[in-house]
Amino acid sequence: MTRTIGIYIYDDVEVLDFAGPYEVFTCASRVAGKLAPGAAAPFRVRTLAPERTPIRARAGLELHPEATFADAGQIDVLVIPGGVVTAELAKPEVIAWIAGQARDCELVAAVCTGALLLAEAGLLNGKEATTHWEDIAELQQRWPQVTVRTDRRWIDNGRTVTSGGISAGIDMSLHLVERLASRELAQRTALQMEYDWKEA
């Protein structure tokens, strides 16, 4: 079974927040292909945005979404990376889309301040969550119904997963490879990436 991983990108998205998970899932599929030639890839990764117009990441990198909200098709795992999310929080259509995807997909994962978008969509109510250390206070103050943890690199609630800032999204994504495929594949992917995988 091939799961489609949809990564939401937007103006001022943090580059490693989306590129880290992108690399983990695509690398996992390459590694899986070596372990079982001819078998279906475990993951297919697509970047998503409301429209196909170019996007400027936080460091100025120009990005071109691979699919739009309208033509993305079925998303199994939605990844919401962080960055400067002020404008995204003020877009009801984006929040509604995230909430709608959460009803239909297997799970939604957030990196860094992406957790604020999940909170605004109501996906973290009554749950534990984490985010970048600089944004912990905002998450606690604006969404008091969320139990914010400062001592975890990532937190898996089943249908929602959140991680701390930037590189923690790589650890979270490796955890998801383990959860959705196997620990062996996650370990081999981390080895292929020469990454020191950190647990929660």
- In angstroms, the CA 58 to CA 166 distance is 12
Catalytic residue among 112, 115, 176, 181: 112
Residue 155 in contact with residue 165, Cβ under 8 Å? Answer: no
Residue 33's nearest CA partner among 4, 2, 7, 74 is: 2
3-class secondary-structure state, position 172 = helix
* CA 143, chain centre distance (Å): 20
Q: Residue 19: how many CB atoms within 10 A of its CB?
A: 20
Residue 112 falls in the annotated catalytic set: yes
Question: Phi/psi at 168 (nearest 5 deg)?
Answer: -65, -25
CA distances from 146 to 6, 125, 149 (A): 24, 5, 9
Which residue reads 């959705």 in tokens? Answer: 180
3-class secondary-structure state, position 22 = helix
Residue 55 in contact with residue 42, Cβ under 8 Å? Answer: no
**Positions marked catalytic:** 112
